[in-house]
Amino acid sequence: MECPQGAKKMRFLILEQKFLELLEDGSIIEALDCLRKELTPLKYNTDRVHVLSGFLMCSNKDELREKASWAGKGPESRGKLMEQLQSFLPASVMLPPRRLYTLLGQAVDLQKTRCPFHNTRLGEESLQNMSLLFDHVCNRNQFPSKTHQVLHDHCDEVWYCKFSPDGTKLATGSKDMTVIVWDVIKETLEIKRKKTFEGHAFGVSFLAWSPDSRYLIVCGPEDSSELWVWNAETGEVKTKMSQSPEDCLTSASWNSDCRRFVTGGTRGQFYQCDLDGNVLDTWEGVRVQCLCMKKDGKTVLAADTHHRIRAYNFDDLTDQHVLQEDHSIMSFTISSNERQALLSVAYQGVHLWDIKDKLLIRKFQGVTHGFYTIHSCFGGVDEKFVASGSEDNNVYVWHTKKELPIAVLQGHTRTVNCVAWNPILPNMLVSVSDDTTIRVWGPDESSDTDGSTEV
């Protein structure tokens, strides 16, 4: 046995079952003998022995079963006992409990891993719903590959889009100086215009939702020194900050407490602020291209003009190296488990990094990327997919384990600046473009090829 006291533990479990069955049969004297002469001399789990002795006072079977949380004498309780006993024995002596079920489950997981379009959540009943008589392949019609909507509400280039963390809203920002907040219609995977925020004189190039999906930070391009915080529900401006006309606040990220955020730009501004726009901390001399605050509430990952990402700690004002690229990091995002980072690198395309081990995992192929800022994203069930816009007017989708795209979504007529995957609805993808349109992509239930090209 793997456990040194395994035999004693197994004997205790068997005697405990014996004791409870004797009590249920009304054999009080025999049960008392079992407790005194067999269980107690083991000198194991004394507290449990004291609890068992209290069951002698039970007046009937029902009271005993309730107090002992026990199924009663019969196949059910003895089956559970056997599973407990099996856990002490090596597999070479007796197969572990539910071993066949475990093996079949592993086979199903392997099938799902090899399926390039698997984008659904399967519960415990998945083993009953899948056949192992043939290889599992998801119908690619269920993958977001067809345009469900084309919206022309913006009147100039659309630079950014982002779903709220709860998946119920979408925000889009444009060169036309407006932000539009949309309601997501879950049943049809479409969006409906809710509110419009105006007055962003330099246009809107970046948006950041607060973790509670209540507030929306709006940043402009490099010429903009302003940052706006809107209440997405009421349409009111929570704050509008500009420390100096020389500022360049082009990126922002929220603290997990929803009361603070960090912001910065390529001219050397790097601030931590409260919800009212008051600067709490300043980091001098860091030219920020893009940034992201981690869930610990104190570490900020920032891409700078030296083609690298560093981690900055605002609590103790320390920083450390994370990764280095050969070309400018135009934008990046991190996975929800904060293990991976997805970078859009000038002239290189989309790169996937393990930021814990500081390793480049994959360079995704196919996308056309010059020096424009293009925003990519993780998405799908368990964030198994990556999507990005491209200067060739297409949207590219990859599986995180494959370098070649699994789908190329066509429809835009100019550069696709940003894509966003709904965090709650894995079959909903949105892209925005210089052609002034917003495209909502969803499952294609009518055709395998309409609106997309399989590579």
Please state the three-class secondary structure of 273-334 as a single string: EECCCCEEEECCCCCEEEEEECCCCCEEEEEECCCEEEEEECCCCEEEEEEECCCCEEEEEE
pLDDT of residue 3: 67
Q: For the CA atoms of the chain, what is the radius of gyration?
A: 30
The 3-state secondary structure of 329-383 reads EEEEEECCCCCEEEEEECCCEEEEEECCCCEEEEEECCCCCCCCCCEEEEECHHH
pLDDT of residue 121: 65
Q: Looking at domain 140-453, what is its CATH homologous superfamily?
A: YVTN repeat-like/Quinoprotein amine dehydrogenase (2.130.10.10)
pLDDT of residue 452: 42
Residues in the chain, overall count: 455
pLDDT of residue 421: 95
| pTM across the whole model | 0.76
pLDDT of residue 446: 67
pLDDT of residue 2: 62
Each residue's pLDDT, cut to its tens digit, for the chain (455 residues) gives 566 788 888 899 999 999 999 999 999 999 999 999 999 998 888 899 999 999 998 888 899 998 888 988 999 999 888 888 887 877 777 777 777 878 887 887 777 777 777 777 655 445 666 666 777 677 677 789 899 999 999 999 999 999 999 999 999 999 999 999 999 999 999 999 999 999 898 999 999 999 999 999 999 998 888 899 999 999 999 999 887 777 788 999 999 999 999 999 888 888 899 998 898 988 887 888 999 999 998 899 999 989 999 999 988 888 899 999 999 999 999 999 999 999 999 999 999 999 999 999 999 999 998 888 999 999 988 899 999 999 999 999 999 999 999 999 999 999 999 999 999 999 999 999 999 999 999 998 765 444 444 43
Domains of the chain by residue range: 6-86, 140-453
